[in-house]
Structure 1
Amino acid sequence: MASSHIAEYYAGKSVLITGATGFMGKVLVEKMLRSCPRVSALYLLVRPKAGQSMQERVAAMMECKLFDRVREDNPDFHSKIVPVSSELTQPGLGIGAADVERLTACINIVFHCAATIRFDEPLKHALQLNVIATQQLLSLAQQMHHLEAFIHISTAYANCNRRHIDEIIYPPPVEPKKLIDSLEWMDDSIVRDITPRLIGDRPNTYTYTKALAECVVQQERGKINVAIIRPSIVGASWQEPFPGWIDNFNGPSGIFIAAGKGILRTMRANNDAVADLIPVDVVINLTLAAGWYTAVQKPKSALVYNCTTGGINPFHWGEIEHHVMSTFKRNPLEQAFRRPNANITSNYLINQYWILVSHKFPALLYDLFLRLSGQKPQMMRIFNRLHKAIGLLEYFSSQDWEWNSENLNMLMSQLSPGDRKTFNFDVRQLNWPEYIENYCIGTKKYVLNEDMSEIPAARQHLRKLRNIRYTFNTVLLVFIWRVFIARSQMARNIWYFVVSLCFKFLSYFRASSTLSK
């Protein structure tokens, strides 16, 4: 760490992190503990959830495999973690007076990762979590005596209604304060009815409220040094703490698993559209580098960093489909429903046909089997949830964007050789086939908790499914022959004609092969 200016900067610093128990927040905590080992303390805003206290949630988080490398280097790393009770939907973020006093007295850096990432979140709730909470956190930050930087995690799709997106904060679709005041007195049903008109040409409440949050950061930053990180579709880790780490079904992860299980057979997307996946460790490395640069250089305006791959190292949805299928055939998931064989199409009618034939019809048959065997039907419900998830992603998998990355390149040029290695966010080095393979294996190991030693048994199961499929196709062919062909003289004539043509072709092919010898 001696050659790392970034690690040296964070030495002795007190850091506040929101959303620390979420996917990106966990990786940020782990990376800071591992690569900035002399950081003084990490204060995590956490709320009680599902009957667990904030201390229990943090303790459970620290036990997960993600922290194995930190555990090896420093078994006492827990001592740097300070949970702070908070609730983002409450006034003042639900932080007690004593905690407010403590935070304002010691915090040097704020990383605001907390947000609702549900695309179909009701507007009022999305506004509360993504906009009002950001507003209140900035208000708290204004009171911090030693604050050096405030880093806000946004999304590259906050301005997805534009095709070319620069590293600037665009004018908001509506003045945030006016919208908050207007919706405060409205009934939820009224808000639900006017939501489509409010979000306009944006696809969902998530992108809409994240655009408003960026505006809030710009308007209410005061004298705080601020930076905004805009990641695209955040996926499994590329390198750190180990390749392919992922812990959720969100975004592409759930789709990859559904394809590997043989549940997903078709998806509407553009094969030639860029799949702007960004590994989570790339986002976190950029975030920590931006925190260092913002605190040390104190830029006059809020710098925005587009954290994307599409304009630097593009990879397409059609290529992803190929590598996902080939990976899961070599390393199959356990107890697959069918052999992996998904196809992407941009044609609506073709997609609907395959949904009917390959999704709904098999689901109905399987649920019928479950009913007859005295079990609860579940396959149709699974497919309905899958179709909903795919539908929410369709907007992002069927078109391309152009991203400016001048600020990202500038920041990269400021890093020392040691920092470029320790906090690597150069996606030009990303090998996509290798990354997708590690991603798929990561879903098997870390999301489904499947043992890699069981792969031979999983392959045997796939062979069994293949034999069942061949048997079914044979029975179906015999059935069609007996019911339709054998009873019709015209059909029999056509059948014999086709068979004779095939026989003549084979005879000609054999004769040609004999003469050539």
Structure 2
Amino acid sequence: MMNHQKCSVMWAFKKSIAKTFIRNRTAEMHRYLFPIKTKAIMISIPKYYEGKNVLITGATGFMGKVLLEKLLRSCPNVKAVYVLVRPKAGQDPEQRIQEMVTCKLFDRLREEQLCFKEKIIPVSSELTQSELGLSREDQEQLGEHINIVFHCAATVRFNEPLKDAVQLNVLATQQLLALAHRMKNLEVFIHVSTAYANCNRSLIEEVVYPPPVDHKKLIDSLEWMDDKLINEITPKLIGDRPNTYTYTKALAEHVVQQECGNLNVAIIRPSIVGASWKEPFPGWIDNFNGPSGIFIAAGKGILRTMRASNNAVADLVPVDVVVNTTLAAAWYSGVHRYTRPRSVLVYNCTTGGVNPFHWGEVEYHVISTFKRNPLEQAFRRPNVNLTSNHLIYQYWIAVSHKAPAFLYDIYLRITGRTPRMMKTITRLHKAMMLLEYFTSHSWVWSTDNTNMLMNQLSAEDKKVFNFDVRQLHWAEYMENYCMGTKKYVLNEELSGLPAARKHLNKLRNIRYAFNTILVVLIWRVFIARSQMARNIWYFVVSLCYKFLSYFRASSTMRY
């Protein structure tokens, strides 16, 4: 009996040892067979970029500059950043980059890393030319060294002629993919698209949709068509899309999907990219594109009416949110490059689904900010009316835009100066026409991949590469945005605010005086000469007096 018990104990002990041995061997085999999966959990974003050679197209553009600055500052051990730059205005690529890195955007980076310029390698390129205008030597160098590609270059002009838009947005993407296939050490290819590439749909998921047309047939057709014929057929080609920009970006996405082959590719789709939220400092913006020019026109008092729906979602997304999403997407695709799915990962980088903000709210915050902190030499006090009614919009255009601009140009002629306001108003109306489609519609974007990406970040990476727009406080962001247009686009110093406020008060007094004179003239010319008009006038005044008396009495009774 005792022997039997001893045997049972020994058997249980041996079985336990065997299970432990098998479990340990299984874990070792798993770590051997799947090393990347284990590494993906542990490696941080800065660690992933350590020692990597990165290629950026569009680095001199708004988003490209922020991407370059953030990559160098938050991933200080990146080996080198190659930037494709074309010669412009008598400057070669090196001179353009040297001038670019002296701007305010790079101040923080200059303080933290004195030698960051040495990591930036300009490469002369022209995206509209064959093989991107790259020399054979540069192609070989890129093919040998590049590990990560960020394709940010594109034309963002909504009214770009179709042939030019196809050349820059579609053909350049196609040629860059061909170059990427020759890069021996390439790990990730990131293509920056737009959330509005498929704006003909109300629900936009994180997938590449079928193209509006076969891009190869379109490219072949555009080669033999003259410009006049292309302009005539463009409206029929783009169909229910509002412009050539969204049309060609949809084609570019399809090109990426069809021609990426075995490349590890992801697509980032930002919505309306605005000023920075936090990095490198709040409110940085350097251009008049998109809403920035509209905000400035409203602050100057030039824009007084706009065709938009108050309840439509203004899907603004800060540029640093887009950049952080882009860098994190490259990290995720890079560490999972051996276990990734074969399909192209798409990330909708938007705010409307989780933190909606409407155009009526945009208008309120822009006007209130510029009334507190006015722009210098404003034309009129800031005040904008949004309307979706075409007739009302046309009325306000005539009364609030064209008539004052015409009168102001007469004043400029009388004082011997060059009239300019009608030209400014004409340019403003063209810009507003291009934005009407986006200020009058709302979309629903799926963000499952973006949420998944956020959940993959470590606690530290979530702080350094934050793209959680649920934390975005819109009132604070809009004030920083408006102040950013004042400081960085118009180069107005905050020390000039007292004078600007004084000028705004002067404009208010002029308006009151003008309205008083207008009422007196109407009285003298129309009302004082007609008994019926006087009776109507007295009736309206007495009615207003009775209403005010009733309102005052009601307020007194409540207290």
Q: TM-score, normalization: structure 1?
A: 0.97
Counterpart check, 1:184 vs 2:223:
yes
Q: 2:77 aligns with which of 31, 38, 47?
A: 38
C-alpha distance in 1 between matches for 2:171 and 2:558: 80
- Cα offsets for 1:433-465 (capped at 9, x unmatched): 111111000000000000011111111111000
Q: Distance in 1 between matches of 2:420 and 2:54?
A: 45
8 Å CA contact 1:4–1:419 kept in 2: the answer is no
CA separation in 2, counterparts of 1:515 and 1:208?
63
Unaligned runs of 5+ in 1: none
Q: Which amino acid aligns with 1:49?
A: K
Question: Residue 445 of structure 1 corresponds to which residue in structure 2?
Answer: 487
2:128 matches 1:86 = no
Q: Distance in 2 between matches of 1:508 and 1:151?
A: 66
Distance 2:558 2:408 in 1: 52
Q: Confirm or deny that 1:154 pairs with 2:196.
A: no
Question: How far did 1:514 drift?
Answer: 10
After the TM superposition, which residues 338-417 of structure 1 pair with which residues of structure 2 at under 5 Å, given as runs?
A: 338-417=380-459
2:312 aligned partner, one-letter code = A
Give the drift of 1:511. 9.0
Q: Residue by residue, what CA displacement relative to the aligned partner does 1:244-275 show, whole Å, maximum 9, x if unpaired? A: 00000000000000000001000001100100
Partner of 2:537: 495
Look up the equivalent residue of 1:243 and give its one-letter code: P
Trace 1:207-246 onto structure 2 (pairs within 5 A).
Answer: 207-246=246-285
Q: Which residue does the alignment assign to 1:251?
A: 290
Give how far 1:507 is off: 7.5
Aligned to 1:61: 100
What's the offset of the Cα at 1:159? 0.5
Return closer, same or farther for 1:465/1:350 CA change in 2, 3 Å cut-off: same
Distance 1:8 1:269 in 2: 45
User: 1:515: Cα distance to partner?
Assistant: 11
Partners of 1:4 and 1:416 within 8 A in 2 = no
- How far the C-alpha of 1:489 sits from its partner, in A, is 2.2
What CA distance in whole angstroms lies between the structure 1 residues aligned with 2:452 and 2:290?
Answer: 30
The within-5 A match list for 1:302-317 is: 302-317=344-359
Choose which of 444, 456, 461 in structure 2 pairs with 1:419: 461
The list of structure 1 runs, each at least 4 consecutive aligned residues, that deviate by more than 2 angstroms after superposition, is 492-517
Shift of 1:43: 0.3
Distance 1:514 1:416 in 2: 60
CA distance in 1, matches of 2:196, 2:203: 11
How far does residue 500 in structure 1 lie from its aligned partner after superposition? 4.9
Number of the residue aligned with 1:292: 331
Percent identity over paired residues:
73
Higher radius of gyration, 1 or 2 = 2
Deviations 1:221-258 (A, max 9, x none): 11110000000000000010000000000000000000
- Secondary structure of 1:111's counterpart equals strand
2:514 counterpart (460, 472, 485): 472
Distance in structure 2 (CA, Å) of the matches to 1:163 and 1:310: 13
Structure-2 change in CA distance of 1:365 and 1:226 (3 Å): same
Superposed CA RMSD: 1.8
Question: What displacement does 1:296 show?
Answer: 1.2
State the aligned residue count.
515
CA 1:514–1:274 in 2, change beyond 3 Å: closer, same or farther?
A: closer
Aligned partner of 1:457 in structure 2 is 499
Matched letter for residue 69 of structure 1: R
Q: Shift in Å at residue 501 of structure 1?
A: 5.2
Tell me what 1:324 maps to.
366
Q: When the two structures are superposed, what TM-score results if normalisation uses the length of structure 2?
A: 0.90
Query: What is residue 281 of structure 1 aligned with on the other side?
Result: 320
Distance in 2, matches of 1:336 and 1:505, equals 36
Query: Matches of 1:177 and 1:463 in 2, distance apart?
Result: 60
Q: Whole-Å Cα distance in 1 between the matches of residues 206 and 179 of structure 2?
A: 26
Taking structure 1 as reference, are residues 501 and 422 closer, same or farther at Cα in structure 2, changes over 3 Å only?
closer
For 2:439 and 2:358, locate their aligned partners in 1 and report how far apart those are by CA, in whole Å. 9
Amino acid of the structure 2 residue aligned with 1:140: L
Q: Is the 8 A contact 1:44 1:84 kept in 2?
A: yes
Give the Cα separation in 1 of the matches to 2:355 and 2:551. Answer: 47
Structure 2: stretches of 5+ with no match in the other structure: 1-41
Return the letter of the residue paired with 1:122: P
